[in-house]
Amino acid sequence: MSAIVASAAQPRPRPGQSIFRHHVVRAVISISVFILLWELGSRLKAPWVGEVPPPSVVLDTWIPLLTDQGYWYSWYQSSRRVLSGFLAAMIIGIPFGLAMATSRVFHDLTFPVFEILRPIPPLAWVPAAIIFWPTQELSIGFVIFLGAIFTIMLNVIGGARSIDVRFFQAARSMGSSNWDIFRRIVLPGVLPSIVVGCEVGIGITWNVVVAAEMISGGGGAIQSSAGGGLGFFIWNSYIGFSYPHIVVGMISIGIAGYISSAIIRRLGLYVTPWLRVR
Amino acid sequence: MNARGDMATKGAIRIQNVDKMYYAREGAVQAVSDCSLDIRAGEICMIVGPSGCGKTTLLNAIAGFHDITGGAIYLDGEMLCGPDRPKADPGPDRVVVFQNGALFPWKTNLENVAFGPVVQGRLTKAQANEKARGMMADAGLVGVEHNYPGEVSSGMRRRVEIVRALMNDPKVLLLDEPFRALDSLTKSVMHEALLEIYYKNKVTIFFITHDLEEAIFLGHRVAIMTTRPCKPKKILDVDIPHPRDYSVLTSPRFRSLMEETVNAVHEEAVKAFEAGEKEM
């Protein structure tokens, strides 16, 4: 017993460097094999991938873009929109979800509407969003917001419901008020689910960024001063028949989504330190 | 730690003709029927009985988690629940330690122990932490204060939970098979730890268990309950003097008490089994 305690009391050892190296090696293998198969498939005109530009061509297109201000401005625009839409989804979704989970009446009054709105794909909201909102940016933000809010809310509701009833009983029997129960049991109890909801939610915001940025008129040519965001970049490249640019845009969104989820995961572990101990 | 000094004068529970009926899908179920039991202030009263016999129903009624449908329960002469108020208010004078443990996983062990006085507004956070540290030290819990419950062994967690309950200066500790999930070696350590804590605090203990050896080793009295509906079938006085240690397990008196209990319990267990009771 004491051995367990002693080891737990000491600062947790970080995963060894050798493990890290293995990790990286595997990731590199995974990505290299993928690129190699893609290049081969594309060059040999294999079915399905035959029409996709090979990675070498994509890379040729990408490299000049890396020094192109317009390309980075697209990154900035999309990130800004995703972040604001996502934050709005958190600010509204978390309290709303908590209210639905803790009040039966509120739940019964709002859940049916929630369930009808939820299945509507964000793409279908695009025309309505344009009509509803006075500015283009608000319309875009709204579509992105819709992408994330339902997932966040469902996770909050589910998380709050799954808190062990004994925690409530224990807290009550030690004399907790309703406010204590909310603050000291419900909030921390639901936090892990909020983190999961946000992690999935931010991924979805990148999924809908193309649909959302179709709203934006963008501006200028494809290569420079695109400015419409990465989603618009893809849409515009499609209209301009520039397939390598489409792929560049797709990969860029993939990378952006990966980074966002990784950041949320990190923040998540930071706010739920008790889950780090397993 | 404020020891209660002489044999406690607080914490007597009178269970008087209690009925508990609840409605399940298959209709009304009488979980407890005309159950009367007097638990003396400061005694360890062990409750044994077949699975699903309604012991936990009784504990929930005392704790104030569920209502009763008849009779009354008193704590030191004051009615907790009865004809006019079917459900008692949960309160820090009757703290429960649960079967599978209910330490808050998001709080460190120290924060868990300090929880009660802080939410009751009796102590500031700093004072509560100070007291918690002292009580944990008394219970042999040193060096784990800043660990989360998930970081320590299960036996350690149970001990933390008992200390957390005692922090509230309860009149009664309600223990619902607290050591069920522990292996028998850890269990024996926990028994001695519990007795040690009890000798220092002299709080009334209402302890539900399936383990007859545990019941006789710990209890001043053992109430053997009938299968559903639940009421005392036999109340056994364990006339082995406290303080006890593990050597009493081999004493002839312990063996004969064990025999007496086994027979009574077995009879009820067979009835329960034949009635097809399932764990509640």
CA distance A248 to chain B (A): 43
Q: Are B162 and B194 in contact (CB under 8 A)?
A: yes
Look up residue A48 and give its two tokens: 């399905």
Tokens 């179920």 belong to which residue? B29
Reported as half-sphere exposure (CB side, CA atoms, 13 A), residue B183 has a value of 4
Using the predicted structure, report yes or no on whether residue B25 has a pLDDT greater than 50: yes
Indicate yes or no: CB of B116 within 8 angstroms of CB of A174: yes
For A15-74, write each residue's pLDDT tens digit: 555 666 687 888 889 889 999 998 998 888 888 777 788 888 889 888 888 888 888 888
Residue B220's nearest CA partner among B232, B235, B234, B210 is B235
Return the pLDDT at A237.
Answer: 83
Chain B segment 121-180 residues within 8 A of A by beta carbon are 143-144, 146-148, 150-153, 155-156, 164, 168
Q: pLDDT at residue A5 above 50?
A: no
What is the share, in percent, of chain B residues with pLDDT greater than 90?
21
How high is the pLDDT of residue B78? 85
- Residue A45 CB partners (closer than 8 Å, separation 6+): none
Residue B41, CA distances (Å) to B5, B97, B108, B203 in order? 13, 19, 33, 8
Closest chain A C-alpha to B123 CA, distance in angstroms: 13
Average pLDDT over residues B182-203: 85
| CB-based contact, A105 to chain B, within 8 Å | no
Which residues in chain B are contacts of A6 at CB distance < 8 A? 143
- What confidence score (pLDDT) does residue B248 get? 85
| Stronger pLDDT, A10 or A135, i.e. the higher one | A135
pLDDT at res. B6: 47
Q: Which residues contact A198 (CB under 8 A, 6 or more apart)?
A: A86, A90, A148, A152, A264, A268
- Please report, as a single letter, which amino acid is at residue A245: H
Rg (CA), chain B: 19
Nearest-angstrom CA–CA distance, B64 and B49: 21
What does the pLDDT read at residue A221? 41
Continuous segment of H or E residues that includes residue B196: helix B184-201
Chain B residues whose beta carbon lies within 8 Å of the beta carbon of residue A4: 152-153
pLDDT reported for residue B239: 85
Most confident of B134-138, B180-184, B203-207: B203-207
Order the strands of the B70-75 sheet from edge to edge.
Answer: B27-39, B13-24, B70-75, B78-81
Report the pLDDT value the prediction gives residue A223, as an integer from 0 to 100.
42
Nearest CA-CA distance, residue B116 and chain A, Å? 5
> pTM of the prediction?
0.81
Q: Mean pLDDT across chain A, nearest whole number?
A: 84
- Domain ranges for chain A: 2-43, 55-275
What is the pLDDT, as a whole number, of residue B227? 81
- Residue A177, Cβ density class (10 Å: 0-12 exposed, 13-18 middle, ≥19 buried): middle
Query: Would you call A6 an interface residue with chain B, using a CB distance cutoff of 8 Å?
Result: yes
Percent of chain A at pLDDT > 70 equals 87
Span B83-125, pLDDT tens digits = 888 888 888 889 999 888 899 999 999 999 999 999 999 889 9
ipTM of the complex: 0.86
The share of chain B scoring above pLDDT 70, in percent, equals 95
Nearest CA in chain B to A185: B104
> In the structure, what pLDDT confidence band is assigned to residue B210 with cuts at 50, 70 and 90?
confident
Q: What is the pLDDT of residues A184-233, one digit of tens each?
A: 999 999 999 999 999 999 999 998 888 888 776 654 444 434 557 888 88
Q: Out of 1.10.3720.10, 3.30.300.160, 3.40.50.10470, 1.10.10.10, select the CATH number for domain A55-275.
A: 1.10.3720.10
pLDDT for B3 beyond 90? no
Q: Would you state the pLDDT for residue B45?
A: 93
